[in-house]
């Protein structure tokens, strides 16, 4: 749709989740900043007109300084940041080099570094003046002026696409990401650097955050950028803090150009006090941004839910559960059922084997029981769906809840959902075991104690972290390693997802608790101790997905050399 150049663009639905529910936050100069109620995306609405943006992106937008020496200093910093980005990309993508596309390449600081590192490069840049400068600096690469969609690049051409401080500028980020998806080769990688509206500087400075500018049309956070990527066909996503190489002088000049009360005067004062050498020393700083790595995945014609059913000595309920599960239909989702049976002694294995020829059922038969955690982990490894749900082989939970729990995932509003047994209006719906009042009290106290402990240790406000109903995108598991075998796996899964940065939403579910007589497998005194130990260990454990990816390349390499 062609807009007259002077007309502001009004946004009718959220760029990420297509919700129409957004509310006004505040204004920057005369631009309204709104927030999506469903996915938390912050964006300008209406967006500035083409004429306004044209004035902002005038010829000196990329210069950053008036003097040649100043421009050189800025270029040095940008190239240092580019080399850092390239080394992080190598950790994620391995040592291979191929075709690289940078959209919004400015006057080519990243491209120069990428070319030197061995990539064959293509740049696209909106400003013709910046394009010309970039062309002069490159040996072989091509730089095209204009916008990505207008360039009409051939499909499946690039191994890597780089968007450094770009996605916040485009009018329609999802269309933009889909175009990137189209031009990437299968398995091609995407690197994004962009401001994060949940970064420390954004939390601290709020409306005065330095990233709020009329030309920044969209402000992602770690959750909704991942959702945006997932919705446009990317997976294996890793989010890291957005390091940049800067020096004091650059930061001071930035805040002189875009003054912020308190910050600008303090920096000006420091400029008089600090020795000159210190002011120009390069430092790695994480301020307002995030770095995101993702890979192109194939878009499924229909999304798939993998339901993992660990079954051990559950003969009384297993078949009833399976039959309900097989009858279950979900709009817009296929169901794949993965049963992990751990050599039960009560006939569960025979009951499980009856489903072996069913097209939608995969059986994993363990030779010996090694704990529920071990069984679930085996199931997770075999799962191929877009979403994962873990279903105990008893009838404590209601399968009718699937629809509600999956809705925010399928609608692209969330990555991780917990079904809360104690939420909603019925706050007193705790565990009640008939005729066992003391036991109820003890178990409820334990629930309260461990919930509080998790909330304190991991900065959460969860009501029911121990629910069986943990539903999430399978991609959330990427580059996480699990080792717990028993009931402590429930903790491990939850906490590693939290620590990787996923913020669960909690929705109320139906629930009927089993008493111990009916076969509850938690051992009263031993398990709480295991849980305490597990929690302490998980609080201290190092969660470093990028390192896991890097190690897997190293392992593959070692394997090849050996073979
Ligand atoms: Zn939204």
Give the separation between CA 77 and CA 113, rounded to whole angstroms: 12
Are the C-beta atoms of 348 and 365 separated by less than 8 Å? no
Give the separation between CA 402 and CA 389, rounded to whole angstroms: 9
**Dihedral sign from CA coordinates of 454, 459, 465, 471:** negative
211 has a pLDDT exceeding 70: yes
The two three-digit tokens of residue 236, written as one number: 């294996």
Contacting residues for 393 by C-beta, under 8 A, at least 6 apart:
309, 310, 311, 312, 314, 317, 318, 321, 348
546 has a pLDDT exceeding 80: yes
CA of 40 to the centre of ligand 1 (A): 6
Tell me how far CA of residue 449 lies from CA of 444, 523, 534, 538, in angstroms. Answer: 9, 17, 15, 17
537 pairs with which residues across the strands?
none
Residue 124: the pLDDT is 96
CA of 413 to the centre of ligand 1 (A): 7
CA of 411 to the centre of ligand 1 (A): 10
Mean pLDDT, to the nearest integer, of 483-495? 88
Strands 184-195 and 158-164: parallel
**Element housing 246 (H / E):** strand 234-246
CA of 15 to the centre of ligand 1 (A): 7
**Element housing 26 (H / E):** strand 22-28
CA of 236 to the centre of ligand 1 (A): 22
Residue 428: the pLDDT is 44
Report how far apart the first and last C-alpha atoms of the chain are (Å, whole number).
57
CA of 16 to the centre of ligand 1 (A): 5
pLDDT digits (tens, 9 = 90+) for 74-121: 888 888 999 999 999 999 999 899 999 999 999 899 999 999 999 999
SS3 track for 322-355: HHHHHHCCECCEEEEEEEEECCCCCCHHHHHHCC
Nearest alpha-carbon partner for 310 in 347, 340, 286 = 340
Kindly indicate the confidence band of residue 60, based on its pLDDT and cuts at 50, 70 and 90: low
CA of 176 to the centre of ligand 1 (A): 17
517 has a pLDDT exceeding 60: no
The two three-digit tokens of residue 472, written as one number: 């999430």
259 has a pLDDT exceeding 50: yes
The two three-digit tokens of residue 323, written as one number: 């039959």
- Give all strands of the β-sheet with 470-473 in edge-to-edge order: 361-365, 333-341, 303-311, 387-390, 470-473, 416-420, 505-508
Half-sphere CA count of 560, side-chain side, radius 13 A: 6
Strands 361-365 and 505-508: unpaired
CA of 54 to the centre of ligand 1 (A): 28
Q: The tokens 């959702």 sit on which residue?
A: 227
Contacting residues for 397 by C-beta, under 8 A, at least 6 apart:
391, 419, 468, 469, 509, 510, 511
- DSSP state, residue 415: S
CA of 13 to the centre of ligand 1 (A): 8
The two three-digit tokens of residue 387, written as one number: 């979403």
26 pairs with which residues across the strands?
33
CA of 278 to the centre of ligand 1 (A): 43
Residue 163: the pLDDT is 97
- Work out the angle at residue 197's Cα, subtended by the Cα atoms of residues 193 and 201, and round it to the nearest 5 degrees: 95
CA of 73 to the centre of ligand 1 (A): 39
- Tell me if residue 505 falls in helix, strand or coil: strand
- DSSP state, residue 64: -
62 has a pLDDT exceeding 80: no
Residue 67: the pLDDT is 76
CA of 174 to the centre of ligand 1 (A): 12
Residue 425: the pLDDT is 44
102 pairs with which residues across the strands?
123, 162
Kindly indicate the confidence band of residue 1, based on its pLDDT and cuts at 50, 70 and 90: very low
Phi, psi of 418 (to 5 degrees): -115, 135
SS3 track for 359-395: CCEEEEECCCCCCHHHHHHHHHHHCCCCEEEECCCCC
Of the listed ranges 200-204, 323-327, 368-372, the least confidently predicted one is: 200-204
């Amino acid at each position: 749709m062609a807009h007259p150049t002077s007309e502001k663009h009004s946004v009718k639905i959220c760029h990420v989740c297509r919700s129409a529910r957004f509310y006004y936050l505040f204004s920057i100069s005369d631009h309204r900043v709104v927030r999506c109620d469903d996915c938390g995306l912050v964006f300008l609405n209406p967006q500035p007109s083409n004429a306004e943006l044209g004035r902002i992106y005038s010829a000196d937008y990329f210069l950053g300084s008036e003097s040649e020496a100043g421009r050189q200093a800025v270029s040095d910093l940008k190239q240092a940041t580019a080399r850092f980005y390239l080394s992080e990309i190598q950790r994620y993508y391995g040592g291979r080099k191929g075709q690289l596309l940078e959209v919004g390449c400015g006057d080519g600081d990243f491209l120069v570094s990428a070319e030197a590192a061995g990539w064959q490069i293509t740049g696209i840049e909106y400003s013709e003046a910046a394009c010309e400068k970039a062309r002069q600096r490159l040996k072989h690469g091509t730089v095209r002026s204009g916008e990505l969609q207008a360039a009409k690049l051939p499909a499946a051409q690039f191994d890597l696409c780089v968007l450094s401080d770009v996605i916040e500028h485009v009018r329609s980020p999802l269309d933009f990401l889909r175009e990137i998806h189209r031009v990437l080769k299968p398995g091609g990688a995407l690197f994004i650097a962009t401001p994060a509206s949940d970064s420390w500087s954004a939390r601290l400075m709020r409306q005065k955050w330095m990233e709020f500018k009329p030309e920044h049309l969209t402000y992602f956070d770690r959750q909704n950028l991942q959702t945006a990527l997932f919705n446009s066909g990317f997976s294996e996503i890793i989010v890291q803090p957005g390091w940049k190489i800067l020096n004091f002088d650059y930061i001071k000049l930035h805040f002189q150009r875009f003054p912020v009360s308190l910050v600008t005067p303090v920096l000006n004062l420091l400029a008089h006090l600090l020795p000159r050498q210190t002011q120009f020393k390069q430092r790695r700083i994480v301020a307002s941004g995030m770095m995101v790595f993702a890979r192109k995945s194939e878009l499924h014609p229909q999304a798939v839910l993998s339901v993992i059913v660990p079954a051990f000595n559950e003969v009384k309920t297993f078949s009833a559960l399976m039959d309900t599960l097989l009858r279950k239909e979900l709009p817009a989702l296929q169901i794949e059922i993965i049963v992990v049976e751990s050599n039960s002694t009560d006939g569960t294995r025979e009951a499980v084997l009856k489903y072996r020829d069913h097209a939608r059922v995969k059986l994993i038969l363990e030779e010996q029981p090694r704990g529920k955690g071990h069984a679930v982990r085996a199931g997770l490894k075999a799962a191929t769906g877009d979403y994962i749900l873990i279903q105990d082989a008893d009838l404590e939970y209601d399968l009718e809840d699937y629809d509600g729990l999956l809705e925010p995932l399928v609608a692209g509003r969330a990555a991780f959902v917990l079904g809360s047994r104690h939420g909603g209006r019925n706050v007193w719906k705790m565990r009640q075991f008939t005729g066992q009042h003391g036991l109820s009290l003890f178990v409820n106290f334990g629930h309260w104690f461990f919930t509080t402990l998790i909330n304190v240790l991991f900065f959460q406000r969860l009501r029911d972290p121990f629910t069986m109903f943990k539903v999430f995108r399978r991609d959330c598991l990427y580059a996480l390693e699990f080792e717990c075998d028993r009931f402590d796996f429930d903790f491990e899964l939850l906490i590693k997802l939290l620590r990787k940065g996923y913020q669960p939403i909690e929705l109320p579910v139906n629930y009927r608790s089993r008493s111990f007589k009916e076969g509850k497998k938690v051992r009263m005194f031993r398990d709480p101790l295991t849980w305490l130990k597990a929690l302490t260990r998980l609080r201290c454990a190092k969660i470093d997905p990028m390192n896991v990816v890097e190690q897997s390349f190293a392992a593959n390499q070692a394997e090849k050399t050996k073979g």
